[in-house]
Amino acid sequence: MYGWIWRHLPGNVWVRALISLVLVLAVVYVLFQYVFPWAEPLLPFNDVTVDNQ
Amino acid sequence: MRVIVRTVSELCITVGTVIVLFVVYVLFWTGVKADDVMGDQIDQLQDQWSKGSVEQPRATGGAEASPEDPAPYKSGKPFAIMYIPRLGFTWNKPVLEGTATNTLKKGLGHYARTTQLGQQGNFSVAGHRRTYGDPFKDFPKLRRGDAVVLTDGTTWFTYRIDKGPYKTVPTDVEVIDPVPRKSGYTRSGRYLTLTTCDPEWGHSHRLIVWAHLDSTQPVEAGKPQALRR
Per-residue pLDDT, A43: 80
Q: For the residues A1-27, what does the mean pLDDT come to?
A: 92
Q: Which residue of A has its CA nearest to B167?
A: A50
User: Cβ of B100 and A32 within 8 Å?
Assistant: no
- In angstroms, the Cα distances linking B92 to A31, A32, A49, B8 are 31, 27, 20, 49
Give the model confidence (pLDDT) of B111-126 as tens digits: 999 999 999 999 999 9
Per-residue pLDDT, B62: 45
The complex's ipTM works out to: 0.87
- Higher pLDDT, residue B60 or A15: A15
Chain B residues lying within 8 Å of A53, measured CB to CB? 99-100
Per-residue pLDDT, B200: 86
Q: Which residue of A has its CA nearest to B208?
A: A50
Domains and CATH numbers, chain B: 3-227 (2.40.260.10)
User: Cβ of A40 and B18 within 8 Å?
Assistant: no
Cα B42 from Cα B25, distance rounded (Å):
24
User: Cβ of A50 and B128 within 8 Å?
Assistant: no
Which residues in chain B come in under a pLDDT of 70?
53-69
Work out the minimum CA distance from B182 to partner chain A, whole angstroms.
14
User: Cβ of B10 and A28 within 8 Å?
Assistant: no
Per-residue pLDDT, B68: 56
Q: Are B163 and B170 in contact (CB under 8 A)?
A: no
One-letter amino acid for residue B132 of the chain: Y
Preferred mutation among B18, B103, B174, B205 to probe A, highest tally of A CBs within 10 A: B18
Per-residue pLDDT, B101: 87
Per-residue pLDDT, B51: 84
Residue A35 pLDDT level (bands cut at 50, 70, 90) = very high
